[in-house]
């Protein structure tokens, strides 16, 4: 150890100081990265959910059959279903996202002509606060708000 210190020209105190600064930076960076990672995972989930809802609507136009996007709270998933068969594999909902009990609908139901059979709001609890998904009656517009 002493020969290494002599070769580099650093004293033991200087090396410990550098190590302390490095550990402080790492100790701050890792938790902030985890927050960033959770936020991005939630963004990807809501983007995929919106795309799946648009897919369900277009599939109801194409097949002339009702299509549903249903949330399964027990499994922490949602599914796109048509003709009483599962259309897409169940999609996982991130652990940081929860469907709130105050939601007045538990899914989005498209009729055979692509319109929504019932309107309402689904509320989500996320790591950054609450989000809502409003399903408008008629042409089936879906709007997210924070």
pTM listed for this prediction: 0.76
What is residue 17's predicted lDDT score, i.e. its pLDDT? Answer: 81
Average pLDDT over residues 75-104: 88
Q: Lowest mean pLDDT: which of 3-7, 34-38, 51-55?
A: 3-7
Residue 6 has pLDDT above 70, yes or no: no
Q: Which pLDDT tens digit goes with each residue over 98-145?
A: 999 998 988 899 988 888 888 899 999 998 889 999 988 877 788 888
The b/e string for 35-67 (b: 16+ C-beta within 10 A; e otherwise) is eeebeeebeebbeebeebbeebbebbeeeeebb
Residue 2 has pLDDT above 60, yes or no: no
């Amino acid at each position: 150890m002493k020969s290494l210190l002599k070769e580099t020209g650093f004293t033991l105190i200087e090396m410990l100081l550098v190590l302390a600064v490095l550990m402080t930076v790492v100790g701050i960076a890792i938790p902030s990265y985890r927050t960033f990672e959770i936020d991005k995972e939630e963004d990807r989930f809501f983007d995929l959910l919106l795309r799946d809802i648009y897919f369900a609507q277009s599939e109801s136009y194409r097949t002339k059959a009702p299509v549903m996007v249903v949330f399964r709270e027990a499994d922490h998933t949602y599914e796109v279903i048509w003709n009483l068969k599962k259309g897409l594999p169940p999609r996982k909902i991130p652990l940081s996202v929860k469907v709130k009990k105050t939601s007045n609908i538990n899914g989005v139901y498209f009729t055979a002509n692509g319109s929504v059979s019932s309107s309402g709001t689904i509320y989500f609890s996320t790591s950054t606060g609450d989000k809502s998904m409003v399903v408008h009656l008629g042409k089936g517009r879906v709007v997210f708000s924070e």
